[in-house]
Amino acid sequence: MTKEDNQAEPESRHFIQQIIDGDLESGKHKTITTRFPPEPNGYLHIGHAKSICLNFGLAKEFPGKCHLRFDDTNPSKEDVEFVESIKEDVKWLGWDWNDNLFHASDYFEKLYDFAVTLIKKEKAYVCDLNAEEVREYRGTLTEPGNDCPTRNRTVEENLELFQQMRDGVFEDGSKTLRAKIDMASPNINMRDPALYRIRRAHHDRTGDKWCIYPMYDFTHCLSDAIEGITHSLCSLEFQDHRPLYDWVIDETGIECHPQQIEFARLNLSYTVMSKRKLRQLVEENIVKGWDDPRMPTISGMRRRGYPAQAIRNFCDKIGLAKRENTIELALLEFCVRESLNKTANRHMGVFNPVKLVITNYPEGESETLEAINNPEDETAGKRSIPFSRELYIERDDFMEDAPKKFFRMAPGREVRLRYAYLVTCQSVVKDDAGEITEIHCTYDPETKGGNAPDGRKVKSTIHWVSAEHAVDAEIRNYELLFTEESPEAKENFLEFVNKDSLNIGSAKVEPYVSTIENKGTLQFERIGYYAFDPDSHSDKLVFNRTVPLRDPSKKAKGK
């Protein structure tokens, strides 16, 4: 069922692959160039991963090139942090832009020249309206707009004013350069859209050189054309901008004319994806940062322990649609489990411990037993685990008055301790409140490794750790960040934040875990997948729950 990255069967090729097939066949293009064009105003999220996997994936498949271009026309303070995080995330996802790292700001001078070209062709003019007036003149969906009073300035006048805009003669927001298209167009994007605005803001790459900045709709298509992009893939909301994309390219006369193709963005249940909303979660301290493991950001998912492979498989599985749709979060978690099942080493950890005393095991002694690291991967090898007279097991794995269907530990019943021995519960010790404090059992020394020489069957295997050797760990269990399936659709999404999305607990884990150097994601047997959190240090392990072993919404199976 799983396909490795982009190995789609011919009949299941999506519509963009088919368009490219056609373009290569007809000779329109010899090779393709795509791009991923993030605006560095936030951290990347799983929706961006879809776009990244699509663009870099196509470049790998056909093959061609994929550029990473920062759409940095909107300077803000955090840019540098965001730029670095975006690069890290793209690399972590497994993609490589090679030498093709670009910035829209690299083209500011060229873009200025293109604007001058438009002015000279009487296709652009300087408008004196302020933002509010522009809105009033724009008209509505049902009514045409009105021409700006300065729409018919002469070319000379426009050239001079535009130069003065650049020279800092005018106040921020007091003038714009606008395309001269059609104020009555049924497509509001074509009603003389702004191409440049005045804004005195320090730019991380161009410093204070510019006090006018080009608008997205002007910058984006020209950046694509300058870079020789063949297929410019974007999400559906840009469909109505496509006529403007094409207009700018045609009217500036730039040779290359990339084809804009829209696809449906990724929406995930129980998740918000707009950067503005994600930023709000961070700024209002609802989460601990952009990389909080509850965030749908790439960095949050990495910290939570999602493998990059799982995210790539997910992006592959969801395919590409031309209509808006919402994908179940459970599918992403399925991909995470599927990937971790193959790669994560197994370990033992007891999350709700009760002491188990093996009364016929010599006091003060211990031995080491051998355990398999990953039954799905022989190369993962084996490790040693210490065994002694006093262990911890899960409280839930014992029942004093066990019903018939309970196969785990109960008085008089023999169970297997994973990788160790068969043990039989003989009695329990309780405190004054009636709570069990110790379970006493005997072991059969002939069953080392977990099998009886006489072949007698035991139904249940439970995990354990040696009390004396176990290491304490902090456990951070995450639940859904939202209680509502489509928080993005709600007027105030913050009302639907799950107040119990983080539960901190503790566990006793086998000592080997504290010696692991490659701090990735592991499985605590019978419990779930957990990732070392960067908050871990030499005397305190901290784990994030990546996913439980099974989808909790599916019916739990009895063990």
Site residues (vs ligand ATP, CB under 6 A)? 37-39, 47-48, 50-51, 234-235, 265-266, 273-275
CB of 2 to ligand ATP, least distance (A): 22
Q: Which is nearer to ligand ATP, 351 or 493 (CB)?
A: 493
Q: Which is nearer to ligand ATP, 182 or 246 (CB)?
A: 246
Q: Which of 302, 244, 262 is closest to 45 using CA atoms?
A: 302
CB of 244 to ligand ATP, least distance (A): 16
Strand duo 436-443 + 353-358: pairing:
parallel
Q: Which is nearer to ligand ATP, 38 or 64 (CB)?
A: 38
CB of 235 to ligand ATP, least distance (A): 4
Q: Nearest 5°: phi and psi at 286?
A: -75, -30
Q: What is the rounded CA–CA span in Å between residue 73 and residue 40?
A: 10
Q: Which residue is nearest to ligand ATP (CB)?
A: 47
Q: Which of 235, 301, 311 is closest to 36 using CA atoms?
A: 235
CB of 527 to ligand ATP, least distance (A): 32
CB of 160 to ligand ATP, least distance (A): 34
Q: Which is nearer to ligand ATP, 101 or 184 (CB)?
A: 101
Positive or negative torsion for Cα 374, 334, 54, 301: negative
Q: Which is nearer to ligand ATP, 71 or 414 (CB)?
A: 71
Helix (H) or strand (E) holding 15: helix 15-25
CB of 201 to ligand ATP, least distance (A): 18
Exposure string of 317-326, with b = 16+ CB inside 10 Å and e = fewer, is: bbebeeeeeb
Integer angstrom CA distances of residue 286 from 265, 266, 295, 447, 495: 25, 23, 10, 52, 12
Burial of 440 from C-beta contacts in 10 A (0-12 / 13-18 / 19+): middle
* Residue pointed to by tokens 């489990």: 337
HEC string for 46-60: HHHHHHHHHHHHHHH
Q: Which is nearer to ligand ATP, 220 or 408 (CB)?
A: 220
Q: What is the rounded CA–CA span in Å between residue 383 and residue 372?
A: 7
* Residues assigned a catalytic role: 39, 265, 275
Half-sphere exposure of 316 toward its Cβ, with a 13 Å CA cutoff?
A: 20
CB of 220 to ligand ATP, least distance (A): 9
Q: Which is nearer to ligand ATP, 273 or 298 (CB)?
A: 273
DSSP 139-162: --SSS-----TTTT--HHHHHHHH
CB of 275 to ligand ATP, least distance (A): 4
Q: What is the rounded CA–CA span in Å between residue 85 and residue 40?
A: 9
CB of 48 to ligand ATP, least distance (A): 5
Q: Which is nearer to ligand ATP, 48 or 65 (CB)?
A: 48
Packing angle of the helix pair 108-120, 242-252 (nearest 10 deg): 80
CB of 36 to ligand ATP, least distance (A): 6
Q: What is the rounded CA–CA span in Å between residue 422 and residue 445?
A: 8
Strand duo 528-532 + 541-548: pairing:
antiparallel
Neighbouring residues of 311: CB distance < 8 A, sequence distance ≥ 6: 46, 49, 53, 93, 298, 301, 332, 335
Q: Which is nearer to ligand ATP, 80 or 169 (CB)?
A: 80
Q: Nearest 5°: phi and psi at 112?
A: -60, -45
Q: Which of 33, 47, 19 is closest to 301 using CA atoms?
A: 47
Residue 333: other Cβ atoms inside 10 A: 19
Q: Which is nearer to ligand ATP, 214 or 528 (CB)?
A: 214
Q: What is the rounded CA–CA span in Å between residue 95 and residue 93?
A: 6
